[in-house]
Amino acid sequence: MTRLPFKICLSLLLLLAGCSVSPTKAEWVSLAATPEGSDWPLLRSPHAVDPAMEQRIAEIVAGMSLEQKVGQITQPEIRYITPDEVRQYYIGSVLNGGGSWPGMDKGASVEDWAALSSRYYLASMSTDMAVQIPVIWGTDAVHGHNNVAGATLFPHNIGLGAANDPALIERIGRATARQVRATGITWVFAPTLAVSENRRWGRTYESYSSDPGIVARYADAMVRGLQGDLDGDGDVVATAKHFMGDGGTFDGIDQGETRATRQEMITRHGAGYYAALGAGVQTVMVSYNSWNDVQAGENHGKMHGDRELLSDVLRGRLGFDGLVVSDWNGIDQVPGCTKDHCAAAINAGIDMIMVPEDWKAFISNTVADVQAGRISTARLDEAVTRILRVKMRSGLFERAPSASLYNGRADALLAGALAREAVRQSVVLLKNENGVLPLAHDRRILVVGASADSLSNQTGGWTLTWGGTENTNADFRGGTTLLGALRRGLGSENVVYSIDAAGIDVSAFDTVIAVLGETPYAEYNGDVRAPAPVQHSLSYPADLAVLQAVSGRGVPVVTVLYSGRPAYANDLINLSDAFVAAFLPGTEGDGLADVLLSGPFDFTGRLSFVWPGSACSTGEGPGNAVQFPRGYGLSYASSRTNGALPVPVTPAACEMATP
Ligand code: GLC
């Protein structure tokens, strides 16, 4: 088999996926994919085998009882397990889900988080085992440490993709790792490496791009940013997720069926993983979706039970030597399994089971499976070995999480300047008639729209709570809405806010800024299920109404739209003189004001997804109307008159895709 330099092969592989890419920095692999992408690359881990470490692990595993091993592969959620139960049941890991905080207090301080982490750690080190094994705590810090009040939150991935700046991503990873270590946590369930294809999907905003090349470059950068040297005070273990094909499900149905060919899986959905593995990612989270290669007549079924991909490919071909973790009750979706019992998932290659609530039943069922031979001792030992390897590589055996210099430090949660820079780079100017933007600082402006003063709409899902819902601005303990930023930039006396422009004489102002947006959601709650049209003004009629109230009054209207997906909005764009796709920019509204107001910053963002030209256009394939292509974005100088965009009649129901 010809082993070609990594760069050549990765470029080949990704060029086949219809994207141009400069390869990642990784030099360690020889990628032996056949040029047409007909086989999985042959990679090897960048982490050299450490014989002394492996020997130490083997000795520890040899001295563990069956119950201790099964406890080690079990990951409960903090609402459902006490520190003393971690000790009693030899638990290897805990997680906090979105909307779960110490003492279930959304306002828990960084000290509260660090204190709870210490209690879990000390409990795990107080068992009756021959060798104590420290517990590891995982959390979804997917746009900064988004569970923690007071943490600076970055733009979600859909916006970061528009920045197309891997160096920025690596810096965000570093800052996020420090935020997480401040709370005593050492494992982050990020980056998401979905190559999202259908904007109906509720998790589109967690995807960097529909271009595998951008995803690959960012995978490398984010993993390096988060993991650093793996065992430093500001380092965390990263997670490549969700393996594999989460962004390619039929009709964008979350946790649905990905009907990709083998070549598409290899060249599109796998692209981020080769780069993440090249950067040394230590954990991989399994995806809820299933894979059905319809063209080949091969239905591989749910990923959580797919031995070929989880073992033969991920371990065999791709050389992954870290741990594989299931998703939240993901084993429940494997045929014949329940959320507390699934030998098939463990035999397929999953090493750690995320079983938030029913962990006691899982332990007893899995002990019984091993005793009955349904799970071999060798497979269990292999899973425990991988978990211990990740813990040792990340320094957890040598130093308690609380030993980090960032532990308990509230200032480590802050990264306002970096986030503000990321906002500037992640917003895209789609229209700027007659050079309306940038706005001079002597403008007297009217701000309208429900999203203008809403940190919730500005930050989106995975924010303080799982869905980003049930939050008020006060819950954020920091952050600046766009309204606040404009007041700061122009002087409060020059900014009037009216959510719906009722009773306002628009002509009394120099400019109107309309801030529109989706309300937050996460996962399947964000799906827009076929055949419903996907059109912002249909889902948010108040946004259309407020724009109609201020447009055509002889005063320029600048519209800013917060959305977790490329939005069909030609009707809104036609009512605007300038239009900014801001996606989900996070807590630093000042970054938006930086590019709306005159000053040193211009728009540089370029779409990392196509922008649809009709309400039933959901992706890039045939039959989809594209209003703006991937890579589109204006700056002040490149502004030109678009004229009115077409607004085709939106049907009550879109044609159903071929099932
Ligand atoms: C969720 C998500 C996954 C997340 C996990 C833990 O269901 O699919 O991305 O890491 O559960 O919160």
Q: What is the CATH classification number for the domain harbouring 75?
A: 3.20.20.300
Q: Are residues 361 and 438 both part of a single domain?
A: no
| Domain tally, the chain | 2
**What is the rounded CA–CA span in Å between residue 204 and residue 210?**
9
Q: Distance, CA 328 to ligand 1 centroid (Å)?
A: 6
Is the CB of residue 130 less than 8 Å from the CB of residue 554? no
Residue 648 lies in a domain: no
Q: Are residues 510 and 596 both part of a single domain?
A: yes
User: For the chain, which residues score pLDDT lower than 50?
Assistant: 1-9, 12, 14-33
Q: Does residue 140 have its Cβ closer than 6 Å to ligand 1?
A: yes
Best residue among 140, 185, 239 to mutate for probing ligand 1, ranked by most atoms within 8 Å of CB: 140
Best residue among 100, 157, 327 to mutate for probing ligand 1, ranked by most atoms within 8 Å of CB: 327
Q: Are residues 364 and 511 both part of a single domain?
A: no
Out of 379, 405, 431, a domain closes at: 405
R_g of the chain computed on alpha carbons? 25
**What is the rounded CA–CA span in Å between residue 539 and residue 534?**
8
Q: Are residues 225 and 338 both part of a single domain?
A: yes
- Tokens standing for 176? 């996020």
Residue 345 lies in a domain: yes
Helix residue spans in 431-535 (DSSP H):
455-459, 482-490
Residue 564 lies in a domain: yes
**What is the rounded CA–CA span in Å between residue 287 and residue 245?**
7
Is the CB of residue 102 less than 8 Å from the CB of residue 94? no
Residue 101 lies in a domain: yes
Q: Are residues 427 and 398 both part of a single domain?
A: no
Q: Are residues 483 and 524 both part of a single domain?
A: yes
Q: Catalytic residue at 351?
A: no
Report yes or no on whether pTM surpasses 0.85: yes
Q: Does residue 328 have its Cβ closer than 6 Å to ligand 1?
A: yes
Q: Distance, CA 254 to ligand 1 centroid (Å)?
A: 12
Q: Are residues 580 and 458 both part of a single domain?
A: yes
**What is the rounded CA–CA span in Å between residue 515 and residue 569?**
14
Best residue among 79, 147, 189 to mutate for probing ligand 1, ranked by most atoms within 8 Å of CB: 189
The enclosing H or E element of 272 equals helix 271-278
Residue 5 lies in a domain: no
Q: Distance, CA 145 to ligand 1 centroid (Å)?
A: 14
pLDDT at residue 4 in the model: 42
167 phi/psi in degrees, rounded to 5: -65, -40
Residue 642 lies in a domain: no
pLDDT at residue 197 in the model: 98
**What is the rounded CA–CA span in Å between residue 154 and residue 176?**
9
Q: Are residues 478 and 603 both part of a single domain?
A: yes
Q: Distance, CA 385 to ligand 1 centroid (Å)?
A: 24
pLDDT at residue 38 in the model: 76
Q: Are residues 399 and 433 both part of a single domain?
A: no
Residue 206 CA, closest ligand 1 atom number: 9
Q: Are residues 86 and 175 both part of a single domain?
A: yes
- Tokens standing for 39? 């086989």
- With vertex at residue 71, the alpha carbon angle to CA 70 and CA 77, rounded to the nearest 5 degrees, is 125
Q: Are residues 455 and 390 both part of a single domain?
A: no
Residue located nearest, by CA, to atom 7 of ligand 1: 328
**What is the rounded CA–CA span in Å between residue 617 and residue 139?**
35
- The answer for residues whose C-beta is within 8 angstroms of residue 518's C-beta and 6 or more apart is 457, 460, 536, 539, 540, 562, 563, 564, 567
Hey, is 614 helix, strand or coil?
Answer: coil
- Tokens standing for 637? 């100088």
Residue 638 lies in a domain: no
How is residue 141 annotated by DSSP?
-
Out of 405, 425, 455, a domain closes at: 405
- The answer for residues whose C-beta is within 8 angstroms of residue 506's C-beta and 6 or more apart is 446, 512, 549, 550, 553, 554, 555
User: Residue 197: what residue type?
Assistant: E
pLDDT at residue 36 in the model: 64
Provide the residue range defining the domain that includes 249: 51-405
Hey, is 183 helix, strand or coil?
Answer: coil
Peptide bond into 191 cis (omega under 30): yes
**What is the rounded CA–CA span in Å between residue 581 and residue 612?**
12
pLDDT at residue 34 in the model: 53
User: Residue 381: what residue type?
Assistant: D
- CA proximity to 427, closest of 273, 280, 583: 583
The CATH code of the domain that includes 620 is: 3.40.50.1700
Residue 635 lies in a domain: no
| Catalytic-labelled residue, pool 332, 523, 543, 571 | 523
Q: Are residues 378 and 424 both part of a single domain?
A: no
Out of 405, 426, 451, a domain closes at: 405
How is residue 308 annotated by DSSP?
I
